[in-house]
Amino acid sequence: MLLDYDRLGWLRMALAGFTALVAAFLLLPVVFIVLLSFGSSRWLAFPPPGWTLKWYEQLLADPTWIDAALTSAKIAAMAAILAVIIGLFASFGLIRGEFRGRQILRGLLLTPMVLPVVVFAIAVYAFFLRIGLAGTTIGFVISHTVLALPFAIIPITAALEGFDKSIEDAAIVCGASPLQARLRITLPSIRIGIFSAAIFSFLASWDEVVVAIFMASPTLQTLPVKIWGSLRADLSPVVAAASSLLVCLTLCLMIVTALFRRKLSR
Partner 1 sequence: MQGNSLRRGAIAGLPAGSGGALPAVVLVGLFFVVPVVALLLRSVTDPEPGLQNYAALFGSGTYVRVFLNTFLVAAVVTAVTIVVAFPVAWMLAIMPPAFGSLVFGIIILSMWTNLLTRTYAWMVLLQRTGVINRTLMGLGIIQEPLPLINNLTGVTIGMVYIMLPFMILPLVGTLRAIDPMTLRAAALCGATPFQAFRRILLPLSLPGIAAGGLMVFVMSLGYFVTPALLGGTSNMMLAEMIAQTVQSLLNWGLGSAAAFVLLVVTMALYALQLRLVGAKRPAGGL
Residues in 97-136 that interact with partner 1 by CB under 8 A: 97-99, 102-103, 105-109, 111-112, 114-127
Residue 77 interacts with partner 1 (CB under 8 A)?
A: no
| 193/224 with CB nearer partner 1 | 224
| 43/51 with CB nearer partner 1 | 43
Query: Could you say which of 18, 57, 70, 264 contacts partner 1 (CB under 8 A)?
Result: 18
Residue 204 interacts with partner 1 (CB under 8 A)?
A: no
List residues bridging with 217 in a β-sheet: 220
Task: Assess contact for 59 and 65: CB atoms under 8 A.
Answer: yes
CB-count exposure of residue 202 (10 Å: 0-12, 13-18, 19+): buried
Task: Assess contact for 76 and 205: CB atoms under 8 A.
Answer: yes
Burial of 165-199, coded b for 16+ CB within 10 Å and e otherwise, reads: eeebeebeeeebeeeebeeebbeebbebbbbbbbb
Query: Could you say which of 69, 76, 79, 90 contacts partner 1 (CB under 8 A)?
Result: 90
Please list every residue from 225 through 244 that binds partner 1, using CB under 8 A: 227-228, 231, 235, 239-240, 243
Amino acid identity for residue 253 in this structure: L
Q: Which of 62, 64, 36, 60 is nearest to 50 (CA)?
A: 36
User: Binding string to partner 1 for residues 177 to 196, with x set by CB under 8 A, is what?
Assistant: xxx-xxx-------------
Please list every residue from 25 through 54 that binds partner 1, using CB under 8 A: 25-30, 32-33, 36, 43-46
By three-state DSSP, how is residue 166 classified? helix
Residue 253 interacts with partner 1 (CB under 8 A)?
A: yes
Query: Could you say which of 53, 167, 169, 261 contacts partner 1 (CB under 8 A)?
Result: 169
Stretch near partner 1 under the rule CB under 8 A, chosen from 8-16, 53-61, 63-71, 73-81 = 8-16
